Structure 1
């Protein structure tokens, strides 16, 4: 009741909580929602296509529009978001600047959206955002250290230590399969140069199929699992080769970092068919230390929501630089 004896409308009653808007900006879709960052609960989930062909201005406009819609719905319920976080499939430095343009050129998207909305807005790399969400609310909660690996259209990773993704000296610690590798050819005539991501990612697998079959996959990589289960030798070969490449890469990462667990996210990472089975086989076979060959290999718990929740957890630029404490 109010002092005047009137009942206040339910929509105007302010709820306690720490609410943020999280936006997962992908190469094909924008996913967004209102996140209670104390519990990880997400409401007002929205999804729309990413209009890459229309250019950066259209993407920024759509991100701002979907955020504004969620903010308006939240305020109508008495929940007032404190900030907007945007997870992007690019390099993002410690100041929140997007420093690559593999998918689109949106260097100042955080500042641009903030100007449109009038609310603090931060950007972060999508894999780091998803890892943060899994550390706080998902599969990584029970581990002091784990590696979150996103396997989908591309391949990326984030090392999590004591609940925080390790950003690196510049914010770029997300790559492990993007650089070209060189190995001697069997006939000693030179080196074979190859990029694992171009071959073993979802996009790479689709390209391999199109090149070898002379026609594109009808429904993306998922089609490979279906065709393989029906005995198609080409689909089986592509799945097996990509799984072996990725499994060996994961083993190398485990050999280098020695984490408590590996958490797989992304469309490929969360698959449960032949690809996942062969990936785990090759990963365990190529781990050097026998003690580590039984390392837990887990699936991300938050699914599509990981990027949205993780984006909402994005820290302001001034709070991103990390240090390693040695000793007591």
Structure 2
């Protein structure tokens, strides 16, 4: 299934070459997948196949309409829902404002499923037609069972959100940290399509990090790894929304920057980071000083990431990437000064300021993987 998905269209003999299975084994497996409606046969319309003599080589591809999958990106102010077909093609999408950024678990489940239901209805089908839902949310999450140790979106800690969602949803729900799923989206659709080892750092209301090692998401044993936002950059420093002090997020996240601005200015005149950024561009030196502090702290975080992981690429993503205060040349230069000095270039840092629907696409892609695994396991059980 992975070989077919990555290739788009592929002949059986090429699957055998890619997987190491014998042609007979590939034929047997694809026969089962065909009978299950997960794949379909096609004759590629390309010059290479047309130039061959005799019968054209038959290729196979995923059956796009065999399953519909929803991806949900839960932001601080907006819920973004995107429905994909089994090939990963967009079907329908919608965005909904969030009235309450922190909800109790029961309200959270209701709001999420209502957003998915409305999106499905706008596409001419219902939530009952979905084969799975991928949910992307900030926090410390054990993706295997959807257990949320802590999230800024919930009023409670240690919530078995997977069980709650499964009880209320007509289809399986797969939950993971939002930065992990941005990394998933970058690996499948973004600037890291050909890379196997890279890191995504997300900067919005909070700060997250997604790590891809050997082509797979690294989560840690408890699902609590890759929390760059909660690494400490100052002893007994600013208060973070996680309840501890001195976290990187407490200096770089949206709420932290606005909190500092209100403290310096003595009044709440900026509703968002964009307003503060505009003020800095118009010569407001207090606004400049607030953004400079955030940038210096981010440079420290970037240097730590390079020193620990030495990845092929670092991608900066999230709403704050719409503004330049966190990725000007001086910030990258400051990070370089704090990296262990060797006679080799530091890993490149790229900005990809895509919107919330692309985050939702990462969640949907994760759900597609999980649904694929479920269907393959069902075939195996039926064969037994």
Aligned position for 2:74: 25
- CA apart distance, 1:40: 5.2
- The 8 Å contact of residues 89 and 126 in structure 1, kept in 2 or not, is answered as yes
Give the counterpart of 2:146 among 72, 96, 116.
Answer: 96
Aligned position for 1:36: 85
Q: What does residue range 160-199 of structure 1 map to in structure 2 within 5 Å?
A: 160-181=212-233, 194-199=246-251
SS class of match (2:150): coil
- CA apart distance, 1:146: 0.7
What is the distance in 2 between the residues matched to 1:100 and 1:183?
22
SS class of match (2:230): coil
What is the distance in 2 between the residues matched to 1:242 and 1:137?
30
- CA apart distance, 1:54: 5.8
**Paired residue total:** 297
- The 8 Å contact of residues 145 and 161 in structure 1, kept in 2 or not, is answered as yes
- CA apart distance, 1:80: 4.3
| RMSD, matched Cα | 3.0
Aligned position for 1:274: 325
Give the counterpart of 1:232 among 274, 284, 303.
Answer: 284
SS class of match (2:148): coil
Higher Cα Rg: structure 1 or 2?
2
- CA apart distance, 1:108: 3.1
Is 1:136 aligned with 2:188? yes
What is the distance in 2 between the residues matched to 1:255 and 1:292?
13
Is 1:260 aligned with 2:309? no
What is the distance in 2 between the residues matched to 1:68 and 1:247?
42
Give the counterpart of 1:284 among 318, 331, 336.
Answer: 336
- CA apart distance, 1:179: 4.2
- Mark the runs of 5 or more structure 1 residues left unpaired by the alignment: 1-13, 185-192, 320-328
Distance change (3 Å), C-alpha of 1:213 and 1:293: farther
Is 1:51 aligned with 2:100? yes
Deviations 1:87-123 (A, max 9, x none): 1111111322111143314723333233223111111
For normalisation by structure 1, the TM-score amounts to 0.80
What is the distance in 1 between the residues matched to 2:151 and 2:161?
12
- The 8 Å contact of residues 145 and 162 in structure 2, kept in 1 or not, is answered as no
Moved more, 175-184 or 87-96: 175-184
Higher relative contact order (Cα pairs below 8 Å, separated by 6+ residues):
1
- Mark the runs of 5 or more structure 2 residues left unpaired by the alignment: 1-62, 237-244, 374-384
What is the distance in 2 between the residues matched to 1:63 and 1:142?
33
What is the distance in 1 between the residues matched to 2:344 and 2:293?
24
For normalisation by structure 2, the TM-score amounts to 0.69
- The 8 Å contact of residues 39 and 137 in structure 1, kept in 2 or not, is answered as no
Which structure carries more helix by proportion? 2
- The 8 Å contact of residues 17 and 38 in structure 1, kept in 2 or not, is answered as no
Deviations 1:242-295 (A, max 9, x none): 111111211111011010000111112x23423320432322232224455442
